A = this chain, B = another copy of it.
Amino acid sequence: MKTGKEYIDSLRDLKTIAYYMGERVDNMVENPAIRPHINAAAATYEMAHDPLHEDLLTATSHLTGERISRFTHIPQSTDDLVKKVKTLRAIGQNTGTCFQRCVGMDGLIAVNGVTYEIDQQKGTNYHQRFLEYLKMIQTEDLMVAGAMTDPKGDRSLSPSKQSDPDLYLHVVERRRDGIVVRGAKAHMTGGINSHEILVMPTTGMGPEEADYAVSFAIPADVPGMLFVFGRQTNDTRKEDCQIDQGNAQFGIVGGESLVIFNDVFVPWERVFMCGEYEFAGLLVERFATYHRQNYGGCKTGLADVLVGATLAAAQYQGVDRAAHIRDKIVEMVHLTETLYSGSIACSEEGHKLASGQYFPNPLLANTTKLNVTRFMYEISRLAQDITGGLIATLPSEKDLKHPEIGKYIEKYFKGIADVPTEDRIRIVRLIENMTGGTALAEAMHGAGSPQAQRIMVLRQANLEHKKRLAIKLAGIKEPKEST
């Protein structure tokens, strides 16, 4: 298994084509806009070698029996599902940001199960292909980015009805040795610093959309592929500040790209679905459930940091004993643990699929993510409340370090006597960057927007059973079925 350093070094060999802020990225490892995200991913490699965390961050491969990264492991039990959650919280606590490995992990897990089921029903051999691929990933300990969300154009039209057929990624040519695909995938977390890209369809498909029902994996630096790295809140602070970044080492979110597939060739041994439109929706739902399972893991790790930072901010200005401050801290913890409970519960209530892997309870996984889209905002709101107005008005670190006016910043942003002004500023900058803009939008839309979760809750709710319970207790004789 790779160390953090080995992971970073491996990125230097990639020929990934990427743009950011209108410029070609030549050396992503040394690029200040990208490096923090690389550091966060590197932490997932490095922590696997830390005795304190290795029980969570590693697992035993059911394919090879070798010790592997949990991020390449297919869950073989509910205990594996629970550990997946705990792993994410632990890394979230140590990085305070998105570390980008989950989308690929959940893609691998979902494709593993669905290829098995396609083969069972259609007599194809996707699953064996996939297992070979998976073995390679496990052995070489590669970072895989999951690619799911298509640009989607006009949301009121299905993929095949768009004015531009490329607004959903699709097969444009089938050759003897492979397929050629065109389109793009948006919001791709960690793609730019991954070794591999695993593509999945973005929604259920009908027969007229067979060309859009495609799943495959390719190296990130394959010809025809192009990354455009997106902007984030305060992204330019990465270029000329330290303190003002808040979390200079790891950044504030995962680093998302638009990835463009300009007639990219994929050899058949890396194709895991091609035309089996009936399974597109299943793959999406499986992936979504595995991914929504995570959000009470990673986000609670971040919330732990935020609770701690907020407490420190309160202490640094002498208000940490006030009843209303304590009460808000309790509320932040309460919301955090409610999110965590969701992820633990959907894991514990998981069950085995046909492929032998374990699957979290989808009703509870969706419930968890839906709470994340509310509670992370409320936790952030409370953090901003306690931190005070300086979160919005602090001068830059260049002013703090300025030979003439630095002394005024030192003097007038001083809190309690025995805490240096710079420490106070550092904590406020951390809170600022964890609670503003992109960081929250990620909690909203990562793993699907809230309405996607509501639809799943409705589907999974077994409402007719509940109605029968009520009808019986109400003393009604012949229940009416609703439809």
Contact = CB atoms under 8 A, between A and B. Distances in A.
A306 B467 CA distance: 8
Given A228-B409, A231-B394, A311 B154 contact: no
Interface string A392-435: 11111011011001001101111111110001001101101001
Interface string A219-235: 00000001011111110
- The 9 closest A-B CB pairs, nearest first, are A22-B398, A436-B437, A308-B466, A341-B345, A308-B470, A309-B470, A389-B445, A392-B441, A323-B323
Contacts of A381: 374, 377, 440, 444
A11 to B, nearest CB: 21
Interface string A143-168: 00000010111111100000110110
State which size class the interface on A falls in.
35 or more
A441 B384 CA distance: 7
A352 interface: no
Decide if the interface of chain A is mainly helix, strand, loop or mixed: helix
Most buried by B among A318, A341, A419: A341
Nearest to A309: B470
Interface stretch (A55-63, A203-211, A471-479): A471-479
A330 B456 CA distance: 9
30 contacts: A153-B318, A156-B318, A186-B389, A226-B408, A228-B395, A230-B395, A233-B234, A233-B437, A246-B474, A247-B474, A249-B475, A258-B412, A260-B408, A305-B466, A307-B463, A307-B470, A308-B466, A309-B474, A312-B482, A324-B451, A327-B454, A341-B344, A344-B345, A348-B348, A385-B449, A389-B441, A391-B441, A391-B445, A392-B442, A429-B474
A393 B157 contact: no
Nearest to A249: B473
A16 to B, nearest CB: 14
A409 B229 CA distance: 11
A396 to B, nearest CB: 5
Interface stretch (A112-120, A121-129, A193-201, A362-370): A362-370
A384 B444 contact: yes
A374 B334 CA distance: 13
A451 B94 CA distance: 31
A123 to B, nearest CB: 36
Given A156-B319, A308-B471, A319-B155, A364 B340 contact: yes
B426 A232 contact: no
A93 interface: yes
